[in-house]
Amino acid sequence: MARAMARGWGRPVLCADPIAARAKALAEETGGEALASNAEVAERADLVVLCHKPAQLQAVAKDVAPHAKAVASILAATPLPALKDAYPGKPVYRFIPSLPVEVRQGAVVQAAGPEQDAARDRAVSELFAELGTLVVLDDKLVDVAMGLMSCAPAYVALVAEAQIDAGVRKGIPATQGAELVVQTLAGTAELLRRRGNDTMAIRREVASPGGVTAKGLDALERGGIRAAFSDALDAVLEQP
Ligand SMILES: NC(=O)c1ccc[n+]([C@@H]2O[C@H](COP(=O)([O-])OP(=O)(O)OC[C@H]3O[C@@H](n4cnc5c(N)ncnc54)[C@H](OP(=O)(O)O)[C@@H]3O)[C@@H](O)[C@H]2O)c1
């Protein structure tokens, strides 16, 4: 996710990683600098973006907190109070990105928090808004949102694959099927955006009464598509 965000920002980054070669590769790709430690990143950066796993919060904070000017976390299942505990007295921001941030088409959620420093708050929000569409939600809803948008690139890829495979079964070569399905996904997303995200309007427009699309939609409903997505969200939110 660190790499995806850095690619999306398209600017040099200072970075550190337990595997030095990984940090070096990212620094070379962005024209930035790989540093020897998290503490060094914190000393030099205006904003430290935490991209490690949630379980590493305390261990990383031990090195970063004494030096950081401000911290932005993308850690799942780590609400603002936990971040503030780990970074006492420091300005802390919480975001959840999604993989398409790499192409600046990501959905990014920001946890609403009290004003810290108006100018910096705005600059940090604007930085993450560069990666796509930024939606501010109550901290309690951020992990629910993650189940919608952060996991979704995998869901959408699976849905695309299922359609491509269905086409292959009827004789459409996978490469051409993929072109058709992926372009339809991209075009439908753009159309939805222009129509105010009105999913039902698009559905009604394509599905004429008694027509083939209505039959296809009926088959998907009977196949349990809504229940499957609902179950997926429940599964994501289950405590480990
Ligand atoms: N993947 C997503 O779509 C997504 C979306 C939203 C939020 N997130 C959140 O983003 C974070 C990263 O997820 P990811 O999928 O990118 O995981 P990842 O591929 O495992 O990346 C985590 C990186 O942090 C490194 N790391 C481990 N300990 C560290 C330390 N002490 N200091 C600095 N770096 C350290 C890891 O190195 P090692 O591999 O050597 O441990 C690894 O390179 C997680 O907290 C996750 O909840 C992920």
Cα 129 to ligand 1 centre (Å): 21
Q: From 1, 73, 148, 151, give the residue whose CB has the most ligand 1 atoms within 8 Å, as the site to mutate.
A: 1
Same domain, 97 and 46: yes
Beta strand segments in 112-193, E: 132-137
Q: Tell me how many domains the chain contains.
A: 2
Q: Model pTM?
A: 0.94
Same domain, 110 and 217: no
Question: In this structure, are residues 150 and 76 in contact, taking their beta carbons and an 8 Å threshold?
Answer: yes
Q: From 17, 22, 49, give the residue whose CB has the most ligand 1 atoms within 8 Å, as the site to mutate.
A: 17
Ligand 1 atom with least separation from CA of 3: 16
Cα 227 to ligand 1 centre (Å): 30
Can you list the residues of the chain whose pLDDT is less than 50?
none
The 10s digit of each residue's pLDDT in 53-102 is: 999 999 999 999 999 999 999 999 999 999 999 999 999 999 999 999 99
Which residue, judged by its Cα, is nearest atom 19 of ligand 1?
1
Same domain, 61 and 127: yes
Same domain, 40 and 118: yes
CATH number at residue 88: 3.40.50.720
The 10s digit of each residue's pLDDT in 121-138 is: 999 999 999 999 999 999
User: Which residue range is the domain that position 157 belongs to?
Assistant: 152-237
Q: Among 145, 169, 187, give the residue marking a domain's end.
A: 145
* Helices 199-206 and 174-194, packing angle to 10 deg: 120
- C-alpha distances in angstroms, 225 versus 146, 170, 220, 222, 229? 20, 22, 6, 8, 6
Q: Among 114, 145, 176, give the residue marking a domain's end.
A: 145
pLDDT of residue 239: 74
Cα 18 to ligand 1 centre (Å): 11
Helix (H, G, I), strand (E, B) or coil at 109: strand
Ligand 1 atom with least separation from CA of 77: 47
Same domain, 17 and 123: yes
Q: Which residues sit opposite 8 in a β-bridge?
A: none
Q: From 7, 14, 50, 53, give the residue whose CB has the most ligand 1 atoms within 8 Å, as the site to mutate.
A: 53
